[in-house]
């Protein structure tokens, strides 16, 4: 792997994803350049041929079409040789009848170091990290799980949909959206930050365009 202009320290939310060239099961990839105009979810796993990781890859693949409908690609990663990735993919297809169709990065350790995927106390294996990167190559969400806990892929689908909706509609999402206990699938209108906006919120509520519990807590249908 080669990197260019990689700053010290792991990337932060809002940073452009570090430039790197990586070997994958689908050929060489230039990140994030090859995914310009698309969102992508890069997720690391501790190792090939491990039980929890196998269930995760199957779960990601079974939702791959749903991700792609949201203009989002998947990229796996672990510190394993590409030959191990390929053999593992074959095992999953032969034994679980699931064909992995997204690329898996064969990392030498450089990508893991750049992205902060090796955590103290967890040996040399990568933790279960998730980087959600938008169409402008900016990191929008980072999630880290310990090796012992498999990820919830429906939650990853949810947060991609939520961030894309927020960008498109300029709104925020309540807890557990779109199944919030009080607001259901409604979205939150950004709170007013000055007196003119307070008046605008009240006027919009009077017109029935939004509903407000107070001027700072307004919500609406998408």
5 confidence band (pLDDT: 50, 70, 90)? very low
Please give the residue range of the domain that contains residue 179. 170-222
CATH code for the domain of 118:
3.40.30.10
Together in a domain, 83 and 174 = no
Domain stops at, among 124, 151, 178: 151
Q: Is residue 46 part of a domain?
A: yes
* Distance in angstroms (rounded) separating the CA atoms of residues 58 and 39: 21
Structure tokens at 97: 């009848």
Quick one: pLDDT at residue 122? 57
Q: Is residue 14 part of a domain?
A: yes
Q: Region 178-204: what's the mean pLDDT?
A: 95
**Long-range CB contact pairs, 140-144, < 8 A, 24+:** 140/13, 140/14, 141/13, 142/11, 142/13, 144/119
Q: Is residue 44 part of a domain?
A: yes
173 confidence band (pLDDT: 50, 70, 90)? very high
189 confidence band (pLDDT: 50, 70, 90)? very high
Together in a domain, 21 and 119 = yes
| pLDDT tens-digit readout, 22-35 | 999 999 999 999 99
Quick one: pLDDT at residue 3? 44
What is the count of structural domains for the chain?
Answer: 2
Together in a domain, 30 and 111 = yes
* Distance in angstroms (rounded) separating the CA atoms of residues 195 and 185: 28
- pTM value is 0.90
Quick one: pLDDT at residue 102? 98
Catalytic residue among 20, 41, 53, 129: 53
Q: Are 83 and 117 in contact (CB under 8 A)?
A: no
Together in a domain, 12 and 61 = yes
Quick one: pLDDT at residue 120? 63
Q: Region 160-189: what's the mean pLDDT?
A: 97
10 confidence band (pLDDT: 50, 70, 90)? confident
Together in a domain, 27 and 103 = yes
Quick one: pLDDT at residue 9? 64
Together in a domain, 134 and 59 = yes
**Cβ contacts of 168 within 8 Å, gap of 6 or more:** none
Q: Region 105-133: what's the mean pLDDT?
A: 82
Structure tokens at 205: 């509520």
Q: Is residue 161 part of a domain?
A: no
Quick one: pLDDT at residue 109? 86
* Residue 212 known to be catalytic: no
Which parts of 107-158 are beta strand (E)?
128-133, 139-145
Percent of the chain with pLDDT over 70: 93
Together in a domain, 65 and 140 = yes
Three-state SS letters, 158-187: HHHHHHHHHHHHCCECCCCCCCECCCECCE
Together in a domain, 146 and 174 = no
């Amino acid at each position: 792997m080669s990197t260019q202009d990689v700053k010290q320290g792991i990337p932060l939310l809002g940073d452009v994803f570090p430039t790197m060239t990586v070997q994958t099961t689908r050929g060489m990839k230039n990140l994030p350049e090859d995914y310009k105009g698309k969102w992508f979810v890069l997720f690391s796993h501790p190792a090939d041929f491990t039980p929890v990781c196998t269930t995760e890859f199957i779960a990601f693949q079974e939702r791959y079409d749903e991700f792609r409908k949201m203009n989002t690609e998947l990229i796996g990663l672990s510190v394993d040789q590409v030959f191990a990735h390929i053999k593992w993919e074959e095992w999953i297809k032969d034994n679980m009848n699931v064909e992995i169709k997204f690329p898996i990065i064969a990392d030498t350790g450089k990508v893991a170091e750049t992205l902060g995927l090796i955590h103290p106390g967890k040996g040399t294996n990568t933790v279960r990290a998730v980087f959600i990167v938008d169409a402008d190559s900016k990191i929008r969400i980072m999630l880290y799980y310990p090796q012992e806990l498999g990820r919830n892929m429906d939650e990853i689908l949810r947060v991609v949909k939520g961030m894309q909706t927020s960008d498109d509609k300029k709104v925020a999402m309540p807890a557990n959206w779109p199944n919030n206990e009080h607001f259901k699938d409604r979205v939150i209108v950004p709170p007013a930050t000055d007196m003119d906006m307070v008046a605008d919120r009240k006027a919009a509520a009077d017109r029935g365009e939004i509903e407000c519990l107070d001027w700072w807590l307004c919500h609406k249908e998408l």
